[in-house]
């Protein structure tokens, strides 16, 4: 028997870390646990009956084809349906500008694989999505965070940071940004700032990775143009997914970008999984063709809006003074900031004892800051669990503040 696996690990293998969020999700098995931790869609939004019908239809009409290997680029029917849908929304692309991936998390990994050498820099938000940060770090990237204000990444700080890194001789590969209902902060970047960030990236010849899983889950306000729509240089790579608007269990996402970049992603995907499930892609394509995606999405938006409003009302009712939070206009999360002396890691341990869980904000900061912050998910729990969970959490925070 080998003594230790460690000596066999590659550099990237040694740098891998367990996801704090995935680990916390294991706590859902505990009886009585109320979890605001994962980015879980509400099971009530899953269109089980519609999918039963479509599954049978696909097996009857496309049985052998749906159970066979497919092309790495993705099922032609699904790609066509997505291209047409984006074109109706104002984004003018062709089928050559879109490929299918096994969830958008795979796209993050493939992008890191093809663009990042050890020591390269990725610029991201403070805070930013943990799954993206882990994917980039695994391939040896250095992460440099830019402060967020109420409109997202600050352009002045972004440009100063790029200048500073270039003066030091550092290589910056891309800016990673989640412009709509950012995970974890819930912030949306207005079009004017999106344009500024694109102009900065163009000036310094840097790619942009636009992660867009929540864009369509908007409760209020006007839809902002995607960065790939505002871009005229071909440097924006946009990642989308069905996980938040249909089903995370399908594990299907898509990437929009210029064909040269997509070709590289396809080559990397061929060594990863050959192709995304043909069967699932055909089911989704038929679901879109029947007009069911739009219909079900409206129900999802209504439910999540209700739950966001209720969680905010509970925070106002139960939280101690000096605790603040964002009030996103869509998405799945809001971000809580505690008085500066508190550590959310300590609070999490005590909250778990009270059967309520969240994700500590420090997980989302690449510079080890944000220790007095936490992310709360409002999409998964019903109103009774939201109220009881916030009441328990507020009690733990109050005890930490008062020392009683």
- Over the stretch 289-330, which tens digit does the pLDDT of each residue have? 999 999 999 999 999 999 999 999 999 999 999 999 999 999
Task: Find where tokens 């460690």 sit.
Answer: 6
Phi/psi of residue 261, nearest 5 degrees: -70, -45
Residue 182 confidence class, pLDDT cut points 50, 70, 90: very high
- CA dihedral sign, ordered 269, 272, 274, 277: negative
CA neighbor of 231 nearest in space, from 273, 202, 193, 264: 202
Distance CA 47, CA 292 (A): 9
Give residue 38's pLDDT. Answer: 86
Give residue 22's pLDDT. Answer: 56
* Structural contact between residues 44 and 302, judged by C-beta atoms closer than 8 angstroms: no
Q: Residue 48 CB: number of other CB atoms within 10 A?
A: 9
Taking 80 as the threshold, does the pLDDT of residue 17 lie above it? no
CA neighbor of 374 nearest in space, from 354, 341, 404, 347: 347
Taking 90 as the threshold, does the pLDDT of residue 4 lie above it? no
Question: For the segment 342-354, what is each residue's pLDDT rounded down to a tens digit?
Answer: 999 999 999 999 9
Give residue 254's pLDDT. Answer: 98
Taking 90 as the threshold, does the pLDDT of residue 3 lie above it? no
Residue 357 is given by DSSP the state E
Would you kindly state where each structural domain of the chain is located, as residue ranges?
Answer: 6-47+294-402, 68-290
Give residue 63's pLDDT. Answer: 94
What is the chain's percent helix, strand, coil content, to nearest 5?
A: 50, 15, 35
What is the percent of the chain where pLDDT is above 90?
A: 90
Q: Residue 343 has which token pair?
A: 């550590």
Region label for 12, one of left (φ > 0), alpha (ψ between -120 and 50) or beta (otherwise): alpha
Q: What is the mean pLDDT of residues 210-238?
A: 97
Check whether the bond before 237 is cis (ω within 30° of 0): no
Q: What is the mean pLDDT of residues 243-267?
A: 97
* Structural contact between residues 331 and 217, judged by C-beta atoms closer than 8 angstroms: yes
Q: Which of 31-35, 146-150, 188-192 has the lowest mean pLDDT?
A: 31-35
Q: Which residues pair with 142 in a beta bridge?
A: 121
Give residue 14's pLDDT. Answer: 73
SS3 174: strand
Give residue 28's pLDDT. Answer: 63
Same fold, 6-47+294-402 and 68-290: no
Tell me the CA end-to-end span of the chain in Å, nearest whole number: 52
Phi/psi of residue 68, nearest 5 degrees: -95, 165
Residue 5 confidence class, pLDDT cut points 50, 70, 90: confident
Distance CA 104, CA 102 (A): 7
Q: Residue 220 has which token pair?
A: 């209020």
Distance CA 241, CA 66 (A): 21
Q: Which of 21-30, 142-151, 214-223, 228-237 has the lowest mean pLDDT?
A: 21-30
pTM of the model: 0.94
Q: Residue 51 CB: number of other CB atoms within 10 A?
A: 18
* Structural contact between residues 127 and 361, judged by C-beta atoms closer than 8 angstroms: yes
Distance CA 269, CA 106 (A): 9
How many residues make up the chain in this entry? 404
Give residue 21's pLDDT. Answer: 58
Distance CA 242, CA 200 (A): 30
How distant is the alpha carbon of residue 43 from its chain centre? 18
Taking 60 as the threshold, does the pLDDT of residue 280 lie above it? yes
Average pLDDT, the chain: 95
Q: 68-290 sits in which CATH class?
A: alpha beta
Distance CA 99, CA 76 (A): 9
Taking 80 as the threshold, does the pLDDT of residue 142 lie above it? yes
Residues 6+ apart with CB under 8 A from 59: 66
Which one of 3.90.1570.30, 1.10.357.10, 3.40.430.10, 3.90.1150.10 gives the CATH number of domain 6-47+294-402?
A: 3.90.1150.10
Taking 70 as the threshold, does the pLDDT of residue 16 lie above it? no
What is the percent of the chain where pLDDT is above 70?
A: 95
Distance CA 374, CA 334 (A): 9
Phi/psi of residue 246, nearest 5 degrees: -145, -70
């Amino acid at each position: 028997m080998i003594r230790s696996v460690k000596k066999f690990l590659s550099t990237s293998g040694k740098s891998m870390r367990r996801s704090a969020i995935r680990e916390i999700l294991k706590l859902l098995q505990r009886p009585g646990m109320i979890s605001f931790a994962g980015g879980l869609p509400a099971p009530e939004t899953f269109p089980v009956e519609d999918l039963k019908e479509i599954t049978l239809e696909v097996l009857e009409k496309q049985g052998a084809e749906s159970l066979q290997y497919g092309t790495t680029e993705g099922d032609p029917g699904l790609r066509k349906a997505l291209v047409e849908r984006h074109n109706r929304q104002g984004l003018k692309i062709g089928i050559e500008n879109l490929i299918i991936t096994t969830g958008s998390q795979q796209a993050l990994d493939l992008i890191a694989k093809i663009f990042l050498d050890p020591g390269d820099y990725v610029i991201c938000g403070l805070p930013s999505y943990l799954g993206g940060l882990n994917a980039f770090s695994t391939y040896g990237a250095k992460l440099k965070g830019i402060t967020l204000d109420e409109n997202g990444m600050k352009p002045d700080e972004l440009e100063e940071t790029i200048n500073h890194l270039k003066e030091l001789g550092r290589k910056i590969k891309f800016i990673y940004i989640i412009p709509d209902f950012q995970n974890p902060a819930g912030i949306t970047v207005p079009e004017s700032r999106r344009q500024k960030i694109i102009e900065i990236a163009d000036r310094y010849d840097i790619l942009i990775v636009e992660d867009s899983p929540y864009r369509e889950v908007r409760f209020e306000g006007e839809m902002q143009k995607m960065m790939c729509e505002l871009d005229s240089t071909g440097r924006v790579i946009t990642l989308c997914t069905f996980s938040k608007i249909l089903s995370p269990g399908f594990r299907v996402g898509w990437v929009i970008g210029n064909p040269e970049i997509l070709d590289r992603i396809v080559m990397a995907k061929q060594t990863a999984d050959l192709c995304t499930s043909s069967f699932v892609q055909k089911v989704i394509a038929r679901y879109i063709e029947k007009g069911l995606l739009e219909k079900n999405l409206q129900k999802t938006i209504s439910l999540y809006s209700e739950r966001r409003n209720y969680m905010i009302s509970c925070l106002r009712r139960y939280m101690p003074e000096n605790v603040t939070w964002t009030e996103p206009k869509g998405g799945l999360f809001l971000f809580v900031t505690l008085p500066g002396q508190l550590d959310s890691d300590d609070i999490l341990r005590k909250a778990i004892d009270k059967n309520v869980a969240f994700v500590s904000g420090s997980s989302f900061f690449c510079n080890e800051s944000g220790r007095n912050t936490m992310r709360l998910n409002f999409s998964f729990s019903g109103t009774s669990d939201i109220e009881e969970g916030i009441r328990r959490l507020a009690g733990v925070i109050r005890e930490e503040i008062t020392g009683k």
